[in-house]
Structure 1
């Protein structure tokens, strides 16, 4: 089983979840985090750490968020691993809870952060 980052992470991109992940399965994009389903060990540590409540266990993903399985897998294969917490965007709190943000998802390459490891895949 895997965990899935869903819509509410878009433009919030809090990284509290990254800090507790024992297998570095999070990947960082410009305004979203993705979980690599091949690396996730279903430890559940990330779920309570997400201030946006955007992470779900595979069996708990809401019906209207099912498309995020494919989005996480696709983007995790393209983006670098993030293995430590970084500051959230300045306007993250204002985006937390805004519905239907998929159209705002930036799938481009992220600006490399100090805790982004492009060699880990």
Structure 2
């Protein structure tokens, strides 16, 4: 099991969760942050600091956002598990689910 970052993060990317994560498993895409499911240790430190309440335990993702469980895992298919977001740097592209969403107003 792992944590998932859902739709409220798209276009926001506050990054408070990145600062709080003790294992550096939150990666930055162009429009959304992603939790690497193989690197997350399920500590939950990221969840309470998210200002837009976008982070959920995998089994607690609201029904309208369940596709984000798959998106957070699939975005790492090619990248594999580099052992931390800092070393890997930003992701080149968002998952197609995120890319297909209209840009939110600032």
Gaps spanning 5+ residues in structure 1: where?
84-100, 106-121
Query: If the length of structure 2 is used for normalisation, what is the TM-score?
Result: 0.73
CA distance in 1, matches of 2:78, 2:13: 17
Residue by residue over 1:86-119, the C-alpha shift from the partner in whole angstroms, topping out at 9 and shown as x without a partner, is: xxxxxxxxxxxxxxx96137xxxxxxxxxxxxxx
Contact 1:24 1:82 (C-alpha < 8 Å) held by counterparts = yes
Number of equivalenced pairs: 88
Identify the residue that residue 72 of structure 2 maps to in structure 1: 72
Residue by residue over 1:54-107, the C-alpha shift from the partner in whole angstroms, topping out at 9 and shown as x without a partner, is: 000112111111110111112244578544xxxxxxxxxxxxxxxxx96137xx
Q: 1:25 to 1:77 in 2, by over 3 A?
A: farther
Query: If the length of structure 1 is used for normalisation, what is the TM-score?
Result: 0.64
CA distance in 1, matches of 2:26, 2:75: 10
Aligned Cα RMSD in Å? 2.2
List, as ranges, runs of 4+ consecutive aligned residues in structure 1 with deviation greater than 4 Å. 77-81
